Amino acid sequence: MISVEIIAFIAIFIVAWILLYVSRRRLERFGVSVPIPFFVMYKSKVRDVWFPSISMSKAYRYYERAAVVLSIISMIGGIVLIFYIISEFIIPHPPSEKPALSLTPIIPGITISLSQTPFLLLALGISVALHEIMHALSATSNGIKVRNGGILLLGIFPGAFVEPDEESFNSSALSKKVKVIAAGIALNLILAAIFFPITYFFPNLVSQGILIESVVKDSAAYNSSLTSGDIIKAVDGTSVNNPYQLGNFLQKYRTNTYTILLPNGTEREVTISAPSHFLGVYVTYYIPSIWLDIYTFVFWMFTINFSLALFNGAPLIITDGGKIFTELLKRIMGTNGEKISLYFQALLILTFVYSILLSNHLLG
């Protein structure tokens, strides 16, 4: 059953886009175009040269060299990931064994909660903006003028873009083209590498207990009146703040005394016997709301940048990886290289879509 919040969200979303679309003629006076429903773009001429003190520095030149290597790694990683996911669903597994990886599209209210959506959109907006700035910096670094720039909105998802001068870009050496394209991919991969350890260690650092998400019916916890929303603060007088500590107590002892913080703010102690060392709860870290917001943003910064690095790095025609792949094949094979690149990337896009369909059980 669809919740009231999701219905309200969909209604507001549709009404807002209808208003934008019917107002598209007026918006054109301000440089805003709505060429099709659910897509709006603001485009304008921007500075030709971007922060030369940074882009022309020796340190940035080193970054560009590293970016080329990182973009190739992202390209290979994206291709391998797509085929690995397909193999996970095609190769037979025991019925009890689920595929290790899958691809799930981000759909607010369906695949992620509405409460997560603002953090997702903020992380996406920041990541894409930084990605495009790196393209602009590398264009300046390689003597290519930047012609236009802008922002866009596809549905609820924000984006940004910069456009180098086409004639200047096309006449540049292959190495310069690749550096300009690779700069954004590399930044996303670097940001993912920065945010991953924060995402991994953050919950353990700020957790103030163990949150019970659900209770198995007729289990020891169920029979002791533990419910979802309860927080385990201590076991046998020892404070606990992560599921691994709880697991250690359960392995060592069959009977433990738990200090439980109830949703109403009161505490109670309960002694529970679990002869099979099975308490019967699904648990996670208990992170106070202020820290939870920070963690959610950090999580999406990692997820978005890792996804951009792999899938924008993969050769999928419209991606940066696709542009690099085409430029490389054109250099190696001449005019035939562009055709071969197009055929390969079209095949990879079909494979990518197929992997998404398999991941979400849309093919039976």
Q: Are residues 254 and 319 in the same domain?
A: no
In-domain check, residue 51 = yes
pLDDT digits (tens, 9 = 90+) for 314-361: 999 899 999 999 999 999 998 899 999 999 999 999 999 988 888 877
pLDDT band (50, 70, 90) for residue 95: low
Q: Are residues 190 and 227 in the same domain?
A: no
In-domain check, residue 61 = yes
Q: Are residues 310 and 197 in the same domain?
A: yes
Q: Which residue range forms the structural domain that includes residue 258?
A: 208-286
Instruction: Provide the residue type at 6 as one letter.
Output: I
Instruction: Please check whether residue 317 is in contact with residue 342, taking contact to mean a CB–CB distance below 8 angstroms.
Output: yes
Domain boundary among 286, 314, 344: 286
Question: What's the confidence (pLDDT) of residue 1?
Answer: 57
Q: Are residues 94 and 185 in the same domain?
A: yes
Question: What's the confidence (pLDDT) of residue 154?
Answer: 93
Domain boundary among 250, 268, 286: 286
pLDDT at 364 exceeding the cut of 70 = no
Q: Are residues 152 and 10 in the same domain?
A: no
In-domain check, residue 364 = no
Radius of gyration of the chain (CA): 25
Question: Alpha helix locations (H) across the chain?
Answer: 4-22, 24-27, 52-55, 58-90, 117-141, 166-170, 174-206, 220-223, 243-252, 289-307, 320-333, 335-359
Mean per-residue pLDDT, 20-40: 91
In-domain check, residue 78 = yes
Question: What's the confidence (pLDDT) of residue 125?
Answer: 96
Q: Are residues 192 and 161 in the same domain?
A: yes
CA 42, chain centre distance (Å): 24
For residue 19, give the 3-state DSSP assignment.
helix
Q: Are residues 191 and 334 in the same domain?
A: yes
In-domain check, residue 352 = yes
Q: Are residues 86 and 167 in the same domain?
A: yes
Mean per-residue pLDDT, 30-50: 91
Q: Are residues 142 and 274 in the same domain?
A: no
Give bridge partners of residue 195 from the DSSP assignment.
Answer: none
For residue 235, give the 3-state DSSP assignment.
strand
| Contacts for 342-347: CB closer than 8 Å, 24+ residues apart | 342/317, 344/315, 345/315, 345/316, 345/317, 346/317
Q: Is pLDDT larger for residue 109 or for residue 230?
A: 230
* Burial of 147 from C-beta contacts in 10 A (0-12 / 13-18 / 19+): middle
In-domain check, residue 149 = yes
pLDDT at 281 exceeding the cut of 60 = yes
* Burial of 206 from C-beta contacts in 10 A (0-12 / 13-18 / 19+): middle
Question: What's the confidence (pLDDT) of residue 96?
Answer: 63
pLDDT band (50, 70, 90) for residue 362: low
pLDDT at 285 exceeding the cut of 80 = yes
Percent of the chain exceeding pLDDT 70 equals: 97
Q: Are residues 100 and 248 in the same domain?
A: no
Q: Are residues 155 and 272 in the same domain?
A: no
pTM over 0.75: yes
pLDDT band (50, 70, 90) for residue 144: very high
pLDDT band (50, 70, 90) for residue 227: very high
Mean per-residue pLDDT, 121-133: 97
- Minimal CA–CA distance to 298: which of 160, 202, 207, 209? 202
How many CB atoms lie under 10 A from the CB of residue 106? 16
Question: What's the confidence (pLDDT) of residue 93?
Answer: 66
CA 335, chain centre distance (Å): 36
Pairing of strands 267-273, 255-261: antiparallel
Instruction: Provide the residue type at 327 as one letter.
Output: E
Domain boundary among 286, 317, 347: 286
Instruction: Provide the residue type at 3 as one letter.
Output: S
Question: What's the confidence (pLDDT) of residue 105?
Answer: 86
pLDDT digits (tens, 9 = 90+) for 179-220: 999 999 999 999 999 999 999 999 999 999 999 999 999 999
Q: Are residues 335 and 249 in the same domain?
A: no
Q: Domain tally for the chain?
A: 3
Mean per-residue pLDDT, 20-34: 91
